[in-house]
Amino acid sequence: MPDIDLFTPVQIGPHTLNNRLVMAPLTRNRASREGVPGPLQVEYYRQRATAGLILSEATCISPEAVGYPFTPGIWNGLQVAGWAEVTAAVHDAGGKIFCQLWHVGRVSHPDLQPEGRLPVAPSAIAPAGEAITYEGMKPFVTPRALDGEELPGIVNAYRIAARNALSAGFDGVEVHAANGYLLDEFLRDGSNLRADAYGGAVDNRARLLLEVLDAVCGAWGASRVGVRLSPVQPFNDMRDSDPLATFTRVVERLNAYDLAYLHVTEMGRDAPGAAGPFFDPLDLRRVWNGVYMTNAGYDKARANAALAEGKADLVAFGVPFIANPDLPERYRRDAPLNPPDPATFYGGGEKGYTDYPFLG
């Protein structure tokens, strides 16, 4: 077997990636209040087009999916037009970009919902913590449990968003089923107490994700669709009684789709037990039959080791790509990295967004 490192090309579906550095999906809260990406986003993504693949910031599939200020959407024409400018800039710079499709579920707030309605979830369980609104931090509310008859509408919102992403010129889409958002809320039994066909056994809890995948793959073809999972991530007050069994079964079901890749975040490894009995998310690599992407605090050395040992096929980098638009070239040359400025991670303008220096 030949040596594999970050600069070994790799195939995902119809796409050949020049390298295995993926820009992780990074919420930066700089779209317009109407969810439209603008010139600032065009420049930000263009600068980072040397990544083997860019995953867009999480992008809301509908007005009801919104859970944070100044996050982009992809449910209307203005948003599609804004994203089309982004994808054209990335392609002109030789890059590839997938759109991450997002519904936040219970971690929204009435202040962010149409007509001030309650956010929705599999079950009426309020997460611990606070929502970020335009007026500041406010305690999470108890969400409204979705009726079974409403779930086809959720699936259809994903279908429409997937079609819109195609119209906007993306190279594929990633279904966000991680980090305590709606699809993850259905997957884990700490947030899903339903007694219908979408609750109880793992196959039932995975039903909505699989229905969403059927819809999204219908628009794109499975070879241009990825899925993100976070089996040990406690963020947004998430837990499961048996995450190893839950996510092993979920991955077994996903194998039937022949997806572009499976993206599993290792986030939560620093707090074993917080999200349920701990297991190593990399163990899911042995269950998955396709291209496997990992992420969580990797640097060049750890990433190359994971690739060489066959633990992953792609590695997603977050903060390093925030601070280093030319991260692949810096890693190629073993050049020093720009220090990140956490104060500018969320919200604001070009400072800490498009003004990080390139090499030379």
The total of other beta-carbon atoms located within 10 Å of residue 300's CB is 19
| pLDDT confidence band for 62 (50 / 70 / 90) | very high
Specify the DSSP element, H or E, that contains 226.
Answer: strand 225-229
Q: Are 225 and 188 in contact (CB under 8 A)?
A: no
Per-residue pLDDT reduced to its tens digit, 71-95: 999 999 999 999 999 999 999 999 9
Q: pTM of the predicted model, to two decimals?
A: 0.98
Percentage of residues of the chain with pLDDT beyond 70: 99
Q: Is the distance from CB of 284 to CB of 312 less than 8 angstroms?
A: no
267-302: per-residue pLDDT in tens?
998 888 899 999 999 999 999 999 999 999 999 999
- Does residue 66 sit in helix, strand or coil? coil
**Strand-pair category, 53-55 with 97-102:** parallel
Distance from C-alpha of 357 to C-alpha of 326, rounded to nearest angstrom: 9
pLDDT of res. 1: 47
Beta-carbon neighbour count of residue 179 at 10 Å? 22
Say which amino acid occupies 106. Answer: R
Segment (H or E) for 136: strand 136-139
pLDDT at 360 over 90: no
List, for residues 179-194, the tens digit of each pLDDT value: 999 999 999 999 999 9
Cα separation of 185 and 191, whole Å? 5
Q: What is the mean pLDDT of the chain?
A: 97
Once rounded to an integer, what is the mean pLDDT over residues 304-332? Answer: 98
Confidence of residue 2 (pLDDT cuts 50, 70, 90): low
Is 122:143 a contact under the CB 8 Å cutoff? Answer: no
Helices 39-47 + 77-92 axis angle, to 10: 30
Catalytic residue from among 158, 181, 261, 298: 181
The yes-or-no verdict on residue 25 having pLDDT over 60 is: yes
pLDDT in tens, 45-58: 999 999 999 999 99
CA 2 to chain centre: 31
Averaged pLDDT, 202-217: 98
Inter-residue contact 49 to 93 (CB < 8 Å): yes
Residues 20 and 60: beta-carbon distance below 8 Å = no
Residue 41 Cα distances to 24, 38, 50, 163, angstroms: 15, 5, 16, 21
Identify whether 181 is a catalytic site residue: yes
- The two tokens of residue 262 are 């499976």
Backbone angles phi, psi at 219, to 5 degrees: -85, -35
Q: How many residues does the structure list for the chain? A: 360
Q: Express each pLDDT in 164-181 by its tens digit.
A: 999 999 999 999 999 999
Q: What are phi and psi of 217, to 5 degrees?
A: -65, -30
Instruction: Give Cα 5 distance to the centre of its chain.
Output: 24
The answer to whether 35 touches 71, Cβ cutoff 8 Å, is yes
Question: Which residues, other chains included, contact 206 with Cβ-Cβ below 8 Å and sequence gap of 6+?
Answer: 186, 187, 249, 250, 253
* Domains of the chain with bracketed CATH: 10-344 (3.20.20.70)
- Whole-number percent of the chain with pLDDT over 90: 98
Q: What does the DSSP 8-state code read for residue 11? A: E
- In this predicted structure, the answer to whether residue 312 has a pLDDT above a threshold of 60 is yes
